[in-house]
Amino acid sequence: MFGIQLISGTSNKPLSEEISSLVNVPLTSVIIKNFADGEKYVRVESTVRGENIFIIQSVSPPVNDSLMELLILIDSVKRGGASQINVIAPYLGYSRQDRKSKSREPISAKLIANMITSAGANRLLVYDLHADQIQGFYDIPVDHFLGFSIFAKYLLDKKLKNIVVVSPDVGGVKRANRLADHMGAPIAIIDKIRSKHNQSDVAHLVGDVKGKTAVIIDDIIDTGGSICNAVNEVKNKGAKKVIICASHAVLSGSAITNLQQSVAKKIVFLNTIKLPSTLSNKFVSLTVAPVISDAILRIHQNKSLEPLFVN
Amino acid sequence: MFGIQLISGTSNKPLSEEISSLVNVPLTSVIIKNFADGEKYVRVESTVRGENIFIIQSVSPPVNDSLMELLILIDSVKRGGASQINVIAPYLGYSRQDRKSKSREPISAKLIANMITSAGANRLLVYDLHADQIQGFYDIPVDHFLGFSIFAKYLLDKKLKNIVVVSPDVGGVKRANRLADHMGAPIAIIDKIRSKHNQSDVAHLVGDVKGKTAVIIDDIIDTGGSICNAVNEVKNKGAKKVIICASHAVLSGSAITNLQQSVAKKIVFLNTIKLPSTLSNKFVSLTVAPVISDAILRIHQNKSLEPLFVN
Amino acid sequence: MFGIQLISGTSNKPLSEEISSLVNVPLTSVIIKNFADGEKYVRVESTVRGENIFIIQSVSPPVNDSLMELLILIDSVKRGGASQINVIAPYLGYSRQDRKSKSREPISAKLIANMITSAGANRLLVYDLHADQIQGFYDIPVDHFLGFSIFAKYLLDKKLKNIVVVSPDVGGVKRANRLADHMGAPIAIIDKIRSKHNQSDVAHLVGDVKGKTAVIIDDIIDTGGSICNAVNEVKNKGAKKVIICASHAVLSGSAITNLQQSVAKKIVFLNTIKLPSTLSNKFVSLTVAPVISDAILRIHQNKSLEPLFVN
Amino acid sequence: MFGIQLISGTSNKPLSEEISSLVNVPLTSVIIKNFADGEKYVRVESTVRGENIFIIQSVSPPVNDSLMELLILIDSVKRGGASQINVIAPYLGYSRQDRKSKSREPISAKLIANMITSAGANRLLVYDLHADQIQGFYDIPVDHFLGFSIFAKYLLDKKLKNIVVVSPDVGGVKRANRLADHMGAPIAIIDKIRSKHNQSDVAHLVGDVKGKTAVIIDDIIDTGGSICNAVNEVKNKGAKKVIICASHAVLSGSAITNLQQSVAKKIVFLNTIKLPSTLSNKFVSLTVAPVISDAILRIHQNKSLEPLFVN
Amino acid sequence: MFGIQLISGTSNKPLSEEISSLVNVPLTSVIIKNFADGEKYVRVESTVRGENIFIIQSVSPPVNDSLMELLILIDSVKRGGASQINVIAPYLGYSRQDRKSKSREPISAKLIANMITSAGANRLLVYDLHADQIQGFYDIPVDHFLGFSIFAKYLLDKKLKNIVVVSPDVGGVKRANRLADHMGAPIAIIDKIRSKHNQSDVAHLVGDVKGKTAVIIDDIIDTGGSICNAVNEVKNKGAKKVIICASHAVLSGSAITNLQQSVAKKIVFLNTIKLPSTLSNKFVSLTVAPVISDAILRIHQNKSLEPLFVN
Amino acid sequence: MFGIQLISGTSNKPLSEEISSLVNVPLTSVIIKNFADGEKYVRVESTVRGENIFIIQSVSPPVNDSLMELLILIDSVKRGGASQINVIAPYLGYSRQDRKSKSREPISAKLIANMITSAGANRLLVYDLHADQIQGFYDIPVDHFLGFSIFAKYLLDKKLKNIVVVSPDVGGVKRANRLADHMGAPIAIIDKIRSKHNQSDVAHLVGDVKGKTAVIIDDIIDTGGSICNAVNEVKNKGAKKVIICASHAVLSGSAITNLQQSVAKKIVFLNTIKLPSTLSNKFVSLTVAPVISDAILRIHQNKSLEPLFVN
């Protein structure tokens, strides 16, 4: 296919390869390395002049390195004369720092937006932002895909009955509502008070889970503390079975152990972040590659992305 | 006081006068008029050169006229040599259009952010944005005040017991949570499906309101349809008493009549938007002037605003 | 025709339809509505990705609403991935506020220029700006069409003899000169002193109108006060017949009545602003649609607009 | 005086010295030289950190060298940490190229505006722009002084009677009107057709000059061709005496000879451009230094410039 | 060839014509003139709408005029609707002012970079910048061609033996190293102390030149003082023969005489600057036209420039 | 001292503390932490409103984390209302990527410049940039300090005789020349060919080192490979003693071991990067704190930095 190029960063190479295979365009050969002092170096090995470039790079841990790699890739294709630079960051780190909750805090998600834009990106494609409003941090078009329909398809295939969708905190109710709406299920909420960063206190459950299959949905599982508390709370309130659906498997610290040991039956992730290869079969990975591949082709062919959002 | 000036637009003159009185700085004399064809014209009548200017103007209905008036005021003091231009927009219209929910929608709240910034504002002070993330639409400092503590003080003064804080939709749960947290009360949520713009279908209540005083909290009351449905739903589910707390009294169409006729005991507003003078005593107006006045003085004296946020 | 789209705002739908018909491209389906609180909402109903978009919207009264509608339309197609955004604003309001005449006045026409540009427009097409220099407020290309040749054609068709072209004020002499030059006629000027905004005092006539057909030319008729005074002055000085040619029919207040009752034989407008449907046959409307349609096609086909300016 | 510095370019050193003397601030020592290849080099010899800098440099012939010198001066004080950079360009070249009159012409005056702004200027002070609207080419404050009151004072001191103010072309009628208004005199206009750049054909005179003292006013005298034709035309139509008032003495080619040989009694210039030292006493130079000096002090002391404009 | 246009400024017309002939695209007809007062005026005589424009203009003496001409050309094609504006400035003046060496100096090369970019250029093509880092002054792509391979080809054709490549100062060692590397020759350096701008004191030679053919390489020959001192120093240290290779023939003051009278056998220039027609056969001019022509075609056809850099 | 604040990042706390002590201003209390997923979080604990902020943070390994920490610190004080944000980055990573040496490489140093500027920095203070021209990557003032005078003082204190200053590559000759100039010593150069990134082949020595004390000067010691080869080459050519002076102790991989085992007598660093605490006494650290402290005070008191550069 003439005029389109896929360039993969190093943060999620398997996803890039899956997309490349679906789009039927080989990944452009790129040198990406770390100098001895940790500085990133990149060089695209064939011409990008006048081409429609799609750079695939999740801003996932090591997050600052992934970000810098993305920015340097953008700079190199910009200076190389690319026609359009589309950034595909299925997971976009720093999105949780999207507002000031105290005086003299940064809004790091805006900082990242300004970096990506001023480096030269013409378009951004992301999955399940922490808040929808982050689209508005950008003046370039942002295509924001929601993973709930992928989770819904998984749940429907499992023919689960009597479902309640649970948000593990008040910030995620809208996300729970979307899935519930789609499934025709009610919602419940864990109304917790978050005492300090990254640590969470479950307060109590609002809504009814007794005897039901509780699907706890969240955008990010980081240390897993908050989600495991949610599992316990839901179980204590009489849920029959618990399934976790989370878009981005950040999985810091002892997250994997915690999740493995929890009473949740299944932990279902999207593959926006490269998953460890050694997870037990309690963990399920659902791919976003078909949607992203379709989006790439539609963008390249000047077709609307609307059909990809509607369902 | 040397070096500070308060300039009031026409959208909420009473609030400006209240602030002027508290700050003990007279409003700078300004000519603001509409030409015969509806174009806004402004002229500041005394020098602003080198001064620290605070422009007070809610972007409230007629929203496009209020916005244009604000922008032209900014332009005139910028070209007049003002040192700092602080915009105080207690209500900032278009904030609900803060994300694309469908293809080819605008993000009007970002458009407004770009307008205010490029006109020359150096700082923005707002009350109860529709979403906290709108702060991140700006690269200038945004001081975002939350009205819940004013509502809490009102409710505590009334010595209400057995309260439940109700969010009229899933998007407002965080707001409900803040007030509930502050009051030590539980929350409940109306999990509705919003079928079309400005019309709403109540779905069902999540949480328990039976025998309680339900405080329904929202940021904006526009046509009032959604909030009145919430009142009914809560009442149907056995709430003893219903009180509405809403920050911004947009009050379009037959909103006043609907609210007056509803079973809510009290409808409590902030005065971020100029309230009609003829409301019955079922309506209560709480003033934001003390907080804003304190903020203006602190900004002018280079003191932290933190004490105003903490409480 | 592939790749071109015409999007019409609501300010002058008949002109858009005339253009659409001449260009032979249907108007793209767009939802434009006012929310209950007066906020504008737009949504383009079919894909604009990669397309060459022409947005047709005069910034005419209600001028702030028309402007906001234009900006939101630009934002929505920008975020929707349009390739080029051409704004066609046959009448561009606020153009009279194009300089500071007193301290601490705004230059609102520049503010509008910055808004249109930063919203995402790539090109602007306008008719009869209040001053030619407003082109220079923009860093994007501005195609500035002059209506005098349309007026000239009308006057020549009427086979009027012994014409003098009259400028109703000193600011419009260049405009009068252009028409006079084109007709081979002399000019005269009303040298008035403008006492206050929107009100005018005729001072005296410079030049000779005795026994001649006086064609008074102006860019905008707003309240009509100034032009009616000019008619009287010209008539008092012995003009045989008076014809008014004005590009933009703003027609505020009692303008229509004043013009109808004046001794002018004909009042000739361009249709840059939607004219009231109930005007007497003393009023004549000349269409700009053929020129604009030709310009649209030439822009889309990368042909020069020069032939459209020369004549 | 602490905190203020005057930096003079080389284009009009005498004016800078006059201003320096009136402001009572010595000119800051600056090295300005041309390298052998014609590149400009500047270095400010004492610290500018945190200072309020006024750079005095007319953009007069050799115009490109003067402009570059101005820009490099701005850059050097910007990088040197100046607090505010005020550019005083009594004559601002390229102002006549302020609009496109044909396809594929530049708008050079906007280009200059962008250069001055992006180099780092915070404010611009100019005299008698070719068009008032050029103020709107800038987003920084522009103080635009008009020389007509200086001319008026000169004419009143001469106790001239029975004056008519003549504009040498249709573009300058507003300028003539301002002076006439101020003097209580009528106006007349030379309605010429400008055939080619810099050459002009007088067409005919509109208005009455017979037996009067004709004051021809223009902003710029370049080659002097057009103004000398105007003198002849006015004289032919019976003017008793002719006086020329022109703000900017560009005086290209044989302008001085032409003016000297014309029947004009006096040619009165402002000293915005350095005048040749050898002019006959037919030429009169009026100084703008007092107004500029007053403006500098008022800007530095944060006082309004309004009193300087009103008179 | 459709869609490509070559526009030549006046600074190096012979090179433009050579390029035009090689690219097989005629130079677009352009009016470029100086007004009587020295202001530049340009007008492109045929349409540029949607075209891929290459403007060829060295920023060579008279450097400020050449620069302004370039910027005005860019502005005119930008406002005329050009699709891409490629600036080809084989010699880019002001490049030596690329850093602050003393307090309160400008960085004029950055100023020029900002001017070219903000005027509207999309790409810059240059030869032998004074420092490679100047590429980084731009956020648009800069194609930086190095002339050493042209010199090497010349030297190899001459079958010179026992070569040493000499840098006339410490700043040019990298340049000498490139040529030496390419030729398999050693290097030597004149370690001088530059006392004042444009004047130079030879200190002493580092390295060995005895009995060798010394090829002194520099980027610019301005007054020629420094290079002639280098010739003498090299000769004094026993070099058998001296050849000068310099990219840009600025040739200020008595440079030509100095070079003619020096003991250098040949002075070899690139034709990035238009050479005087009367030089003796001691001077050799090598053309950059083939490389630039190839680059233009590759850019227009979206091919990589890499093959042009590698050799 | 009122109005000044020093904020230290985590990359070189000892230097910050030394500066704090010399400036006599305590370090402002700041929370800086890494979230579990590696995202940086910062919060300044006391008000910065209206203050003159100096952020001290070397962009040293882990370079991407250090950079992100710096940017987030800038963002937080910008949004907190700081008056001036001065960034002190004694070592500024990525400076070696300051030009494209091959097609489709990035210019990462410019990317970093744009990031720092657009985050909100008003001024940058750095030590020994890889190339002086990097100053020109910025439009904000950059104070570029050179360490050679600190090295010179050290060498003079040691009363070393018969010195030759050696540049380990052709890119560093200017640096060697500065030190040599200052010491009245000759220079020599290692004319190597750098085969691949971070690996180097010594070619041969240009100049004379026999029997001399060779001071090899470089800006950065990364893996140390190139400098150790230089030591060997110099020793092989008969140098009596070898001393290494290098500004920035990046010290990747086995650099410390290599240097320890080399025949160099002393390895002298500046403390722009935090040095390992366990180095042998073969390593010497010279502090930049006095110069930086003096610069901070001078900037804060609006005094010239010139005296700090001259020496």
Confidence label for B1 from pLDDT (cuts 50, 70 and 90): very low
Q: Which residue is closest to D225 within chain E, CA to CA?
A: E36
Residue of E nearest to C304 (CA): E47
pLDDT tens sequence across B204-215: 899 999 999 999
Spell out which residues of chain D touch residue B78, defining contact as CB-CB under 8 Å. 141
Length of chain D: 311
Task: Nearest chain A residue to C46 by CA: give it.
Answer: A304
Q: Which of E13, E153, E159, E192 is catalytic?
A: E192
For the cut 80, the answer to whether the pLDDT of residue C202 exceeds it is: no
In B, minimum Cα distance to D305 occurs at B47
pLDDT at B172 over 90: yes
Neighbours of chain D (3+ CB pairs under 8 A): B, C, E, F
D47 vs F: CB within 8 A: yes
- Which residues in chain E are contacts of A72 at CB distance < 8 A? none
Query: With an 8 Å Cβ cutoff, is E295 touching chain F?
Result: no
Distance CA F155, CA F128 (A): 18
pLDDT single digits (tens) F103-121: 999 999 999 999 999 999 9
Q: Could you say which of D171, D177, D204 has the minimum Cβ distance to residue C191? A: D177
Taking the Cβ of residue C100 and every Cβ of chain B, the question of whether any pair is shorter than 8 Å is answered with yes
Return the pLDDT at B134. Answer: 97
Alpha-carbon gap, residue D258 to D244, rounded angstroms: 13
Torsion of CA E70, E72, E76, E77, to 10 degrees: 20
Tell how far CA A162 is from the center of its chain.
28
Interval F26-51 mean pLDDT: 97
Q: Which residues of C touch E78 (CB under 8 A)?
A: 139, 141
pLDDT at B204: 83
Which residue in the list A40, A192, A212, A237 is annotated as catalytic? A192
Report whether D220 contacts D191 (CB < 8 A): no
Q: Give the pLDDT band (50/70/90) at residue D1.
A: very low
Gap between the Cα atoms of B208 and A207, Å rounded: 8
Question: Residue D287: is its pLDDT beyond 90?
Answer: yes
| DSSP structure class, residue E279 | -
At residue A264, φ and ψ (nearest 5 deg) are -60, 140
Helix (H, G, I), strand (E, B) or coil at B206: strand
> A285: which residues sit within 8 A by CB, 6+ positions away?
A268, A269, A270, A271, A275
Q: What is the reported pLDDT for A211?
A: 97
Mean pLDDT score across all residues of chain D:
94
CB < 8 Å to D302, chain B:
47, 49-51, 81
Distance from CA of B134 to the nearest CA of F (A): 14
Q: How confident is the model at residue A309 (pLDDT cuts 50, 70, 90)?
A: confident
Q: How far is D118 from chain F (nearest CA, A)?
A: 10
Cβ-proximal residues to D51 (8 Å cutoff; 6+ apart), any chain:
D3, D4, D5, D82, D83, F302
The pair of three-digit structure tokens given for residue F286, joined into one six-digit string:
């010279």
Q: Say yes or no: B46 contacts chain D, CB-CB below 8 A.
A: yes
What is the distance between the alpha carbons of residues E130 and E136, in angstroms, rounded to a whole number? 13
For residue D198, is pLDDT > 60? no
Cα atoms in the Cβ-side hemisphere of radius 13 Å centred on D110: 29
In this prediction, residue F311 carries a pLDDT of 55
What residues of A are in contact with residue F43 (Cβ under 8 Å)? 102, 104-105
Distances (CA, A) of F58 to F20, F40, F64, F65, F107: 15, 16, 11, 11, 20
Give the model's pLDDT for residue F203. Answer: 61
pLDDT at A197 over 80: no
Q: What is the distance between the alpha carbons of residues D169 and D177, in angstroms, rounded to a whole number?
A: 12
User: Quick one: average pLDDT of A278-296?
Assistant: 97
Any chain B CB within 8 A of the CB of D141? yes
Cβ pair A63:F37 closer than 8 A: yes
Exposed, middle or buried, A246 (CB in 10 Å: 0-12/13-18/19+)? buried
pLDDT in tens, E220-264: 999 999 999 999 999 999 999 999 999 999 999 999 999 999 999
Size of interface E-F (CB pairs under 8 A): 112
Edge to edge, the sheet with strand B266-270 lists B199-206, B187-196, B163-167, B213-221, B241-249, B266-270, B283-286
Hey, of A92, A110, A134, A137, which one would you mutate to test binding to chain B, going by the most B CBs within 10 A of its CB?
A: A137
Instruction: State whether residue B123 sits within 8 Å of chain F by CB.
Output: yes
* E209 in contact with A, Cβ within 8 Å: no
Per the CB < 8 A criterion, the answer to whether F158 and F152 are in contact is: no
% chain B with pLDDT above 90: 92
Average pLDDT value for residue range C210-222: 97
Q: What angle, rounded to 10 degrees, do the helices at D108-119 and E108-119 form?
A: 140
Please state at what angle helix B173-183 crosses helix B148-157, rounded to 10 degrees. 40
Mean pLDDT of F173-195: 87
First to last CA, chain B: 28
Q: Is the pLDDT of residue E193 over 90?
A: no
Is D118 touching C (CB cutoff 8 A)?
no
Banded model confidence at residue B199, pLDDT cuts 50, 70, 90: low
Q: Tens digit of pLDDT for each residue in A113-165? A: 999 999 999 999 999 999 999 999 999 999 999 999 999 999 999 999 999 99
B136–A99 C-beta distance less than 8 A: yes
Chain D nearest-CA residue for C146 = D101
pLDDT of residue B309: 87
Rounded to 10 deg, the angle between the C289-300 and C13-23 helix axes is 50
Average pLDDT of the segment spanning D119-148: 97
Is chain B in touch with chain E: ≥3 Cβ pairs within 8 A? Answer: no
Pick among 1.20.1560.10, 2.60.40.10, 3.40.50.2020, 3.40.50.2000: CATH of F148-286: 3.40.50.2020
Q: Which residue of A has its CA nearest to F59?
A: A39
At residue C177's C-alpha, the angle toward residues C173 and C178, to 5°, is 120
Q: How many CB atoms lie within 10 A of CB D184?
A: 7
d(CA D225, CA D221): 9
Q: Is the pLDDT assigned to residue E88 strictly greater than 70?
A: yes
Q: Tokens 């304190």, residue?
A: B294
- Tell me, yes or no, if B290 comes closer than 8 A to chain F by beta carbon: no
d(CA F133, nearest CA chain A) in Å: 19
Predicted confidence band at D199 (pLDDT cuts at 50, 70, 90)?
low
| CATH number belonging to the domain at E4-146+289-308, selected among 3.40.30.10, 2.40.50.140, 3.50.30.60, 3.40.50.2020 | 3.40.50.2020
Model pLDDT, residue A193: 56
Summary mean pLDDT of chain B: 94
Q: What residue ranges of chain A are covered by domains with CATH 3.40.50.2020?
A: 4-146+289-308, 148-286
CB distance C187 to C177 below 8 Å:
yes
Q: For all residues of chain A together, what is the average pLDDT?
A: 94
Q: Which of D139, D142, D302 sits opposite B49 (nearest CB)?
A: D302
Contacts of D46 in chain F (CB under 8 A): 304
Taking an 8 Å cut-off on Cβ atoms, the answer to whether A102 and B134 are in contact is no
Q: Which of A47, A51, A79 sits opposite E141 (nearest CB)?
A: A79
Q: Which two tokens stand for residue C192?
A: 């008035």
Say whether B97 and C68 touch across the interface (CB within 8 A). Answer: no
Nearest CA of chain B to the CA of C253: how many Å? 7
Token look-up 């290849």 returns: D37
| Nearest by CB: E108 against D75, D108, D110 | D75
Quick one: pLDDT at residue C196? 47
Predicted confidence (pLDDT) at residue B223 exceeds the cutoff of 80 = yes
pLDDT at C195 over 70: no
Which segment of A201-205, D211-215, F58-62 scores lowest on mean pLDDT? A201-205
pLDDT at B146: 96
**Chain B residues touching residue A94 (CB < 8 angstroms):** none
The per-residue pLDDT for range D220-277, each reduced to its tens digit, is 999 999 999 999 999 999 999 999 999 999 999 999 999 999 999 999 999 999 999 8
Please say whether the beta carbons of A34 and F108 come within 8 A.
no
Q: Could you tell me which residue, D177 or D199, shows the higher pLDDT?
A: D177
Q: What is the pLDDT of residues E122-146, one digit of tens each?
A: 999 999 999 999 999 999 999 999 9
Q: C72 touching B, CB under 8 A? A: yes
pLDDT band at A311 (very low <50, low <70, confident <90, very high): low
pLDDT at A2 over 70: no
Q: Which member of C42, C45, C111 has the closest CB to residue B119?
A: C111
F80–B contact, CB cutoff 8 A: yes
H/E segment holding residue F183: helix F173-183
F177 touches chain E (CB under 8 A): yes
Check if D256 contacts E (Cβ < 8 Å). Answer: no
For the question of residue C192 being annotated catalytic, the response is yes
Question: What is the mean predicted confidence (pLDDT) over E63-72?
Answer: 98
- Whether the CB of F43 is below 8 Å from some CB of chain B: the reply is no
DSSP A15-39: HHHHHHHHHT-PBPPEEEEE-TTS-
Q: Tell me whether B79 touches chain D (CB under 8 Å).
A: yes
Q: Which has more pLDDT, E115 or C199?
A: E115
The CA-atom distances, in angstroms, between E294 and each of E21, E206, E276, E301, E306 are 12, 39, 26, 10, 11
Helix (H, G, I), strand (E, B) or coil at B68: helix
* Residue D309 binned pLDDT confidence (cut-offs 50, 70, 90): confident
Confidence of residue D202 (pLDDT cuts 50, 70, 90): very low
- Tallying the residues shown for chain C, one arrives at 311
Neighbouring chains of B at 3+ CB pairs under 8 Å are A, C, D, F
One-letter amino acid at D2 equals F
In chain F, which residues have their Cβ closer than 8 Å to the Cβ of D85?
none
Q: What three-state secondary structure class fits A253?
A: coil
How far apart CA F56 and CA F88 sit, in angstroms, is 5
- Residue B196 is predicted with a pLDDT of 47
Alpha-carbon distance of A195 to D299, in angstroms, equals 52
Q: Which chain E residues are Cβ-neighbours of A79 within 8 angstroms?
A: 141-142
What the block records as the tokens of F307 is 């005296």
Q: Which residues of D touch C177 (CB under 8 A)?
A: 170, 191
State the Cα angle at B35 between B30 and B37, rounded to 5°.
Answer: 155
Mean pLDDT, rounded, of chain E? 94
In three state form, how does the secondary structure of chain D look? Answer: CCCEEEEECCCCHHHHHHHHHHHCCCECCEEEEECCCCCEEEEECCCCCCCEEEEECCECCCHHHHHHHHHHHHHHHHHCCCCEEEEEECCECCCCCCCCCCCCCCCHHHHHHHHHHHHCCCEEEEECCCCHHHHHHCCCCEEEECCHHHHHHHHHHCCCCCEEEEECCHHHHHHHHHHHHHHCCCEEEEEEEEEECCEEEEEEEECCCCCCEEEEEEEEECCCHHHHHHHHHHHHCCCCEEEEEEEEECCCCCHHHHHHHCCCCEEEEECCCCCCCCCCCCEEEECCHHHHHHHHHHHHCCCCCHHHHHC
pLDDT-based confidence at E202, cuts 50/70/90? very low
Residue F40 Cα, gap to closest chain D Cα (Å): 32
Q: How many residues does chain F have?
A: 311
Mean predicted confidence (pLDDT) in B116-141: 97
What count of other Cβ atoms lies within 10 Å of the Cβ of residue E310?
Answer: 9
Alpha carbon of E189: minimum distance to chain A alpha carbons (Å): 31
Which residues are CB-contacts of B2 (< 8 A; sequence separation ≥ 6)?
A: none
Compute the distance between CA of residue E121 and CA of residue E114 in angstroms, rounded to an integer: 10
Q: Distance between CA D295 and CA D309 in Å, rounded?
A: 10
- Tell whether the model's pLDDT for residue C231 goes beyond 50: yes
CB spacing of C304 vs E79 below 8 angstroms: no
Share of chain D above pLDDT 70, in %: 95
* Beta strand pairing call for E30-34 and E40-44: antiparallel
